[in-house]
Amino acid sequence: MTDVVNTISGESTEHNGKPVGPTGQTRSGMTADALRAAVSDHLLYSIARPPAVLTPEHYYRALSLAVRDRMQKRWMATTQDFLDLSSKVTCYLSAEFLMGPQLGNNLLNLGIEAEARQAMADLGQDLDVILDCEGEPGLGNGGLGRLAACYLDSLATLERPAIGYGIRYEFGIFKQEIQDGWQVEKTDNWLVRGNPWEIDKPDAAYTVNWGGHTETYEDVTGKFRVRWLPQRVLKGVSYDTPVQGYGVNTCNTLTLWSARAVESFALDAFNTGDFYKAVDEEVVSETVSKVLYPNDEPEAGKRLRLLQQYFFVTCSLQDILNIHLLRAHLPLSALPDKWAIQLNDTHPSIAVAELMRLLIDEHQLGWDEAWDLTVRTFGYTNHTLLPEALETWPLRIFGEALPRHLELIYEINDRFLAEVRAKFPDDEDRIRRMSLIGEDGGKTVRMAHLATVGSHAVNGVAALHSELLKASVLKDFYGMWPERFGNVTNGVTPRRFLALSNPGLRELLDDTIGTGWMTDLERLHGLEAFVDDPAFRQRWRDVKRANKSRLAEYVHTATGIELDPTWMFDVQVKRIHEYKRQHLMVLHIITLYHRLKNDPTLTIPPRVFIFGGKAAPGYFMAKRIIKLINAVGETVNADPQVNRFMRVVFLPNFNVKNAHLVYPAANLSEQISTAGKEASGTGNMKFMINGALTIGTLDGANVEIRQEAGAENFFLFGLTEGQVEKVKAEGYRPVDYIDADPELAAVLELIARGDFTHGDTEVLRPIVDNFVHHDSFLALADYRSYINCQDEVSKVWLDGEAWTRMSIRNTARSGKFSSDRAIAEYCDEIWGVGPMSVDLD
Ligand SMILES: *Cc1c(COP(=O)(O)O)cnc(C)c1O
């Protein structure tokens, strides 16, 4: 190593006595030495703390900055490529991105985990402690936001140019605490300690109008035009985060918009001395990106939510048009050839009207051309069939907020309904059903209809869901345009949900079938050859056991509850919702409790029941279900007669970070939603990949999981979607099921008489009443089938070797559920986006 001295900085190529190569390497070198030098540099220059006060948190930030530096050249090379628009770019519009911790994932994708571990060890630090310092940007509610994050990982890994567009909420999903068994919501102040991954681009800002009215005018060529005179104006500034692909140069961008006042002070107000009104303006503007709305909330905050959606959509579309016109100098007619814009559920569906507004009002295109470009550019992914979750806006609120968009939607609707009338004459009922404007119970704008009419492709997220979509909520649209409808079954990234979160299994897989599974998950099939190898099965069990010990330790710290890692870990983690039926799993727990109490000689295979998930703060019944779980848990865990066989845990604040510990530790995955209600699920896939067996209904992607795993490796119970509809149509009476099943009656009686609530019969009364009088999601109709199936689960569990074989087969056959497969399908069938390898020179 020659002792070159950088003539500008005077920096030596030696660092703590070790050579690090040319100084530029401090920013980009991938060796442990270069990383160590980079972290030292960042501690000095970016963190600016003397060695005596350094904490692991400081090392976390310094290492993160050093890792971000290592993505920078790849990021800029990728960005340059898509600014040129030499190939088509996917834009994934999503109100939520649940990204999870970034450091470990970036180390993995850059291939420098061992180097980072060594570098930190050289600095006297433990990489695991450093990794644990990272919080997570909770910019999503659950599955939908996490799907968007998995898709970004796969897009980059498959070298597809892509931009994720969303909102930089200042406060993400609330932090959940459990007090006295109840959920308590705490603010998620995720930015308080800074975010080393994002780069703010104050110069990349777009104007966002709001409210006011429209007027017509004649332009210079004598054409009739419309202009929007808004009541309020704010702006969106972008914060960009790199999304590094695994083992490739491609490093895509996640752009999140943050709201700002246009001017810091409204000068006229300031000049007249009303200082506080001026500041108020700023405060109001910035509330737009202040907080993520929990889903499943009734009504609240409607207007601001619409503003949030419009806010991020217009910023994103303006950014796209800016790149298209000003950077790439392309004509608008080329828009659908260069951009595929995907609407992740209806949250961004105002984009259909907004693109029309931009093309017609701002860029002077005629209606027909603008509409043709719009439809060819957008695709729409539907995520739910639940009627209460299909977004609609009261017409009055919509019209006051977005007067120009309402005009455009009326025009879109008129032309669309004329098309419907031409195809289906004399069918005014159909017209009413399909209209973009709903007339039932006050006029509304139907966002799912707008998204469907404005997109060339509409997809559901699992085979069953896509079929139900065509048969139910979008039936008439399927009749109109069958060619638009397709299915893309969801997937999850094997980088985060296997390699990163299950290092033990990763090592076993690498040893057994090589490392190719990381980017070609179908290679897991190679495991089938080892199912009959006892030594391999032992290693398989050892990995699972270690993961269970790791989770047990976390549970103990978080809840004080002690778990035995030899017991079956039976897990349900997901948002708390009646359709997901956490309360059905509780009925099983109480059934076992009841059996043990009634027969002191009874023994059952010991199980730990683990729950995790947040309830929307305004969702009364979901919050009671959390109380129910904790009440039953307290009783069970404290009773020496039953706690030899069962424990119940509610893991607080389920999020991506602790999900890393949960999925790999599960033996049994609970996927027990009412058939027809869960669009796909992705938690079910994360469990399967990590070797859990599923107990589930024929719902969402469970259907395909069972198909892939083989019926003999899946515990099936419950009514099918068709049977659910039939039972409901015939007038479902939960009491009939109670009367017919003494065990069920006894279980409900235990809750009702206060056995889990110290004799209090009020706390859980709403749950009992709901079971008896409503039970909208048919938990009681599926109870007996579920209990019998669980008895079968226990029987199989007793044969450890048989269970292990089934576990291995589940992982081996989980290849379909990689988000790489899903993204390849989107690219081929909907977006027409091919791979583009990024050259670093
Ligand atoms: C995967 C995931 C979900 C989705 O779980 P489902 O079981 O599909 O509802 C929700 N939250 C987090 C943190 C996840 O990682």
* pLDDT tens digits, one per residue of 563-583: 999 999 999 999 999 999 999
> How far is ligand 1, taken at its centre, from the CA of residue 526, in Å?
28
User: Band of the pLDDT at 25, cuts 50, 70, 90?
Assistant: confident
pLDDT at 281: 66
Check pLDDT > 90 for residue 743: yes
Check pLDDT > 50 for residue 19: no
> How far is ligand 1, taken at its centre, from the CA of residue 799, in Å?
30
User: Band of the pLDDT at 300, cuts 50, 70, 90?
Assistant: low
* Co-location of 348 and 363 in the same domain: yes
* Co-location of 561 and 431 in the same domain: no
Q: Is residue 719 part of a domain?
A: yes
Domain that holds residue 29: 1-84+102-134
Output the domain CATH number for residue 775: 3.40.50.2000
DSSP 212: S
Ligand 1 atom 6 nearest Cα: 683
Q: Which range has the worst mean pLDDT, 293-302, 506-515, 806-815? A: 293-302
Q: What is the pLDDT of residues 29-42, one digit of tens each?
A: 999 999 999 999 99
Task: Tell which atom from ligand 1 comes closest to the C-alpha of 681.
Answer: 8
For the segment 392-411, the average pLDDT, to the nearest whole number, is 96
Write the single-letter amino acid at 79.
T
Ligand 1 atom 9 nearest Cα: 574
Q: For the whole model, what pTM was predicted?
A: 0.96
**Percent of the chain residues topping a pLDDT of 70:** 94
Q: Is residue 686 part of a domain?
A: yes
User: Band of the pLDDT at 10, cuts 50, 70, 90?
Assistant: very low
Q: What is the pLDDT of residues 448-479, one digit of tens each?
A: 999 999 999 999 999 999 999 999 999 999 99
For the segment 262-274, the average pLDDT, to the nearest whole number, is 60
Check pLDDT > 60 for residue 11: no
Our answer to whether residue 686 is catalytic in this structure is yes
Q: What is the pLDDT of residues 443-453, one digit of tens each?
A: 999 999 999 99
* Co-location of 143 and 160 in the same domain: yes
The C-alpha atoms of residue 562 and residue 564 are separated, in whole angstroms, by 7
* Co-location of 478 and 595 in the same domain: no
pLDDT at 3: 40
Ligand 1 atom 1 nearest Cα: 683
Task: Tell which atom from ligand 1 comes closest to the C-alpha of 143.
Answer: 4
Around ligand 1, the residues with Cβ closer than 6 Å are 142-143, 146, 574, 654-656, 659, 681-683, 686
* Co-location of 154 and 179 in the same domain: yes
Check pLDDT > 70 for residue 780: yes
Collapsed DSSP state (helix, strand, coil) of residue 782:
helix
Which ranges of 252-365 would DSSP assign to H, the alpha helix? 267-271, 275-286, 302-322, 335-338, 351-357
Our answer to whether residue 186 is catalytic in this structure is no
Q: Is residue 655 part of a domain?
A: yes
> How far is ligand 1, taken at its centre, from the CA of residue 651, in Å?
14
For the segment 764-780, the average pLDDT, to the nearest whole number, is 98
DSSP 264: S
User: Band of the pLDDT at 21, cuts 50, 70, 90?
Assistant: very low
Contacts of 632 (CB under 8 A, 6+ apart): 586, 589, 590, 593, 648, 756
Q: Is residue 577 part of a domain?
A: yes
Q: What is the pLDDT of residues 85-140, one digit of tens each?
A: 788 999 999 999 999 999 999 999 999 999 999 999 999 999 999 999 999 999 99
* Co-location of 312 and 460 in the same domain: yes
* Co-location of 485 and 581 in the same domain: no
Which of 428, 425, 445 minimizes the C-alpha distance to 436?
Answer: 445
Our answer to whether residue 753 is catalytic in this structure is no
Which of 74, 449, 660, 686 is catalytic? The answer is 686
**For the chain, how many structural domains are there in total?**
3
Which of 687, 691, 678 minimizes the C-alpha distance to 724?
Answer: 678
* Co-location of 639 and 726 in the same domain: yes
* Co-location of 310 and 367 in the same domain: yes
pLDDT at 274: 65
* Co-location of 565 and 554 in the same domain: yes
Q: Is residue 841 part of a domain?
A: no
Ligand 1 atom 3 nearest Cα: 143
For a mutational test of ligand 1's pocket, the pick from 174, 295, 686, 690, i.e. the residue with the most ligand atoms closer than 8 A to its C-beta, is 686
The torsion angles phi and psi of 439, rounded to 5 degrees, stand at -110, -10
Q: Is residue 839 part of a domain?
A: no
* Co-location of 483 and 572 in the same domain: no
> How far is ligand 1, taken at its centre, from the CA of residue 659, in Å?
8
> How far is ligand 1, taken at its centre, from the CA of residue 70, in Å?
30
**Percent of the chain residues topping a pLDDT of 90:** 89
Q: What share of the chain is helix, strand, coil (3-state, %, to 5)?
A: 50, 15, 30
User: Band of the pLDDT at 18, cuts 50, 70, 90?
Assistant: very low
Per-chain mean pLDDT for the chain: 94
Q: What is the pLDDT of residues 627-673, one digit of tens each?
A: 999 999 999 999 999 999 999 999 999 999 999 999 999 999 999 99
Our answer to whether residue 575 is catalytic in this structure is yes
Our answer to whether residue 614 is catalytic in this structure is no
Our answer to whether residue 574 is catalytic in this structure is yes
Check pLDDT > 50 for residue 20: no
The C-alpha atoms of residue 639 and residue 597 are separated, in whole angstroms, by 10
**C-alpha triplet 464, 688, 252: angle, nearest 5°:** 80
Which of 36, 347, 470, 580 is catalytic? The answer is 580
Which of 235, 449, 470, 575 is catalytic? The answer is 575
User: Band of the pLDDT at 82, cuts 50, 70, 90?
Assistant: confident
Q: What phi-psi label fits residue 792: left (phi over 0), alpha (psi between -120 and 50 degrees) or beta?
A: alpha
Which of 352, 375, 368, 305 minimizes the C-alpha distance to 450?
Answer: 352
For a mutational test of ligand 1's pocket, the pick from 384, 575, 817, i.e. the residue with the most ligand atoms closer than 8 A to its C-beta, is 575
pLDDT at 17: 46
The C-alpha atoms of residue 458 and residue 484 are separated, in whole angstroms, by 6
pLDDT at 14: 46
> How far is ligand 1, taken at its centre, from the CA of residue 655, in Å?
8
pLDDT at 408: 98
For the segment 180-184, the average pLDDT, to the nearest whole number, is 98
Check pLDDT > 80 for residue 13: no
* Co-location of 164 and 69 in the same domain: no
